[in-house]
Chains A and B, each alone.
Chain A
Amino acid sequence: MDRRDFLGKIIKIFFLTLFSVLSAISLLFLYPSKIRKRKVQFFEVLKEEDLPRRGVKKVVFRYPRGEQILRMKAFIVNHNGRLFAISPVCTHLGCVVSWHRKKEQFLCPCHGGRYDIEGRVIEGPPPRPLTKLPLKIENSKAYIGLKI
């Protein structure tokens, strides 16, 4: 290796190092320094005596997101003596499903996804069952939990 090649190598290494350091600094700079952990928060939806004794009941409640107050729909299901809450968001592309009382199925209006009363997929494109939401009963009121 002569002097010219050696110096050429040094310059190459210098610029590679510079490039790597600058990239690292940029990435650190761009990455958010504070990331808020999403926590489950409970929102009141019903009084205990209004909970369904059998079948499905649709509830609408409000929750804050930043400055806004958003409306959210959910289903409370009492099936085979078990009480649980189901999110109405179709797992296919996020449309809102509705409960068909006669067929006893959740129907998605967008692409024909169908779920049974437990939220399991019967037919159509949805890849997963409907999401179960945490439900708790406290002081004779029912609360639904959302991760926000």
Chain B
Amino acid sequence: MTKGWPQWEVFVRSEAGLAHKHVGSLHAADARMALENARDLYTRRNEGVSIWVVNSEDVHATDPSEGEAFFEPSEDKRYRFPTSYRVPEGVEHL
């Protein structure tokens, strides 16, 4: 039966102000059922205040074989990392 149901990706916001975070996936016939199943599968222990579900088909991912082109060029560009800044003493919330 599950074979006929699309897969959904589940995102849960753990508390107000934080971003929704991907927590896993599930099967459901439609978005309403996906939200209900997500509630039962991923928020059993008070994990969330908001749930998003996205049809897995609508998630487009990078191709692992293109990892070099996508990600490696940033490794040798140290000037993009804030490592050279000195943080003045006494600054707490940086």
Query: Is the pairing of A and B real?
Result: no
